């Protein structure tokens, strides 16, 4: 199957994840607002009104986490399962969405197991990035603008973008090897990713280039729209102008006029871009990365020394490896 066909046929998972998130955001805003208005119309005391609104916000926040965040991971798992099947077997079932959900249910006895595996791979990438930043601090000390810190920040950002796909590829390896423990497959998948880093890094330039173009086009469009809309709201611009007037830079100079508006629009643009990029651009990149990953994995065998290196680099990996060994001994 071509990458474009796999991407197109697995896109429903992204759409459903995005719709779920949007509905949860609406709920997160609407439930406290409705509670505040309803308690006000009921003539309740102001303290009671604020307390009820706070409780409603907490309830909405918990629901947001469970439905959007936790449930979104499971939709991601289903999408990864089907992308893996399309790449590895060259075909997909007629009802891809239903098959993806079934794959998640059959591979993971509980959602918490999958969530734990995802946390392991996230910990590996975070610990590597933290290690690079720590190395820079050892050279530059507290000088965060030193050359080593700047280089480390750039390299750390690039590594984070590239290694982000380790999470998906390791999960894909779990779906590809149903005959063994999920923790063992996760560790194997991470080892394969790192020992074939030269092959997989060939995709790094493509990954970074697409990410930059996506940020420039999608993020830039959102920034422009937000700037035009928010900049036309006089009460808002007046408040932001007061913030700029009261703020000063570290050297004591005044903050340039319009800075607060630009920052606000940039934050809004980044949030919106992150949602659309994650839903529609990342899956396209993942199909290409997954194909190289599976090809490299099938042509190679996980090496013991790489297990040892990753165990030294990541506590999360070491913990997962220990869990895999326990399950193997119990079997």
Query: Per residue in 33-90, pLDDT tens?
Result: 898 888 887 777 788 888 888 899 898 888 887 787 777 888 988 999 999 999 999 9
Q: Could you tell me if 302 and 45 are in contact, meaning their C-beta atoms sit under 8 angstroms apart?
A: no
CA–CA dist 292, 199 (Å, integer) = 8
Asked if the model's pLDDT at residue 190 lies above 90, the reply is no
> How many CB atoms within 10 Å of residue 267?
12
How large is the average pLDDT for residues 20-39? 87
- Read off the pLDDT band of 263 (50, 70, 90): very high
What pLDDT is attached to residue 137? 54
Can you tell me whether residue 121 is helix, strand or coil?
helix
Asked if the model's pLDDT at residue 213 lies above 80, the reply is yes
What pLDDT is attached to residue 140? 53
Angle, helix 46-64 to helix 11-41, in steps of 10 degrees:
170
Q: What is the mean pLDDT of the chain?
A: 82
Q: Could you tell me if 45 and 66 are in contact, meaning their C-beta atoms sit under 8 angstroms apart?
A: no
φ/ψ of 152, rounded to 5, equals -65, -40
Asked if the model's pLDDT at residue 115 lies above 70, the reply is no
Q: What is the pTM of this model?
A: 0.80
Token pair 């303290």 in the structure block, residue: 47
First to last CA, the chain: 37
Give pLDDT tens digits for 137-158: 555 555 556 666 667 666 666 6
How large is the average pLDDT for residues 171-192? 85
Token pair of 174 as six digits:
């779990």
Give pLDDT tens digits for 218-246: 999 999 999 999 999 888 888 888 888 88
Of residues 91 and 21, the one with the higher pLDDT is 91
What pLDDT is attached to residue 297? 85
> How many CB atoms within 10 Å of residue 145?
7
Token pair of 34 as six digits:
């409705």
Instruction: Break the chain into its structural domains and give their ranges.
Output: 1-107, 111-196+304-331, 202-299
The 8-class DSSP code of residue 95 comes to: S
Q: Of the spans 24-28, 106-110, 119-123, which averages the highest pLDDT?
A: 24-28
Percentage of the chain beyond pLDDT 90 is 25
CA–CA dist 59, 66 (Å, integer) = 11
Region label for 258, one of left (φ > 0), alpha (ψ between -120 and 50) or beta (otherwise): left
Distances (CA, A) of 111 to 8, 71, 76, 106, 177: 26, 9, 12, 11, 18
């Amino acid at each position: 199957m071509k990458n474009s066909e796999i991407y197109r046929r697995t896109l429903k998972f992204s759409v459903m994840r995005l719709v779920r998130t949007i509905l949860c955001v609406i709920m997160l805003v609407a439930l406290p607002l409705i509670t505040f208005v309803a308690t006000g119309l009921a003539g309740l005391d102001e303290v009671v009104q604020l307390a009820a609104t706070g409780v409603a916000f907490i309830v909405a926040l918990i629901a947001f986490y469970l439905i959007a965040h936790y449930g979104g991971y499971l939709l991601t798992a289903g999408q990864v399962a089907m992308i893996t099947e399309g790449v590895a077997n060259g075909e997909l079932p007629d009802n891809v969405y239903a098959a993806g959900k079934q794959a998640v249910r059959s591979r993971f006895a509980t959602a918490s197991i999958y969530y734990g595996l995802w946390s392991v791979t996230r910990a590996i990438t975070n610990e590597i990035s933290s290690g690079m930043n720590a190395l820079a601090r050892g050279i530059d000390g507290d000088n965060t603008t030193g050359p080593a810190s700047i280089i480390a920040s750039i390299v750390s950002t690039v590594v984070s973008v590239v290694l982000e796909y380790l999470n998906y590829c390791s999960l894909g390896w779990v779906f590809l090897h149903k005959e063994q423990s999920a923790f063992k497959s996760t560790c194997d998948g991470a080892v394969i990713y790192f020992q074939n880093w030269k092959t997989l890094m060939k995709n790094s330039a493509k990954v970074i280039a697409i990410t930059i173009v996506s940020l420039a086009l999608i993020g830039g469009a959102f920034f422009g729209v937000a700037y035009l809309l928010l900049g036309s709201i006089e009460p808002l611009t007046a408040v932001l102008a007061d913030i700029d007037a009261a703020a000063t830079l570290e050297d004591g100079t005044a903050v340039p006029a319009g800075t607060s508006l630009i920052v606000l629009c940039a934050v809004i643009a980044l949030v919106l871009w992150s949602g659309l990029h994650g839903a529609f651009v990342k899956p396209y990149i993942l199909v290409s990365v997954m194909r190289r990953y599976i090809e490299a994995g099938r042509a190679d065998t996980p090496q013991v020394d790489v297990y040892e290196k990753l165990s030294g680099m990541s506590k999360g990996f070491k913990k997962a490896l220990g869990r895999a060994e326990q399950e193997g001994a119990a079997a």
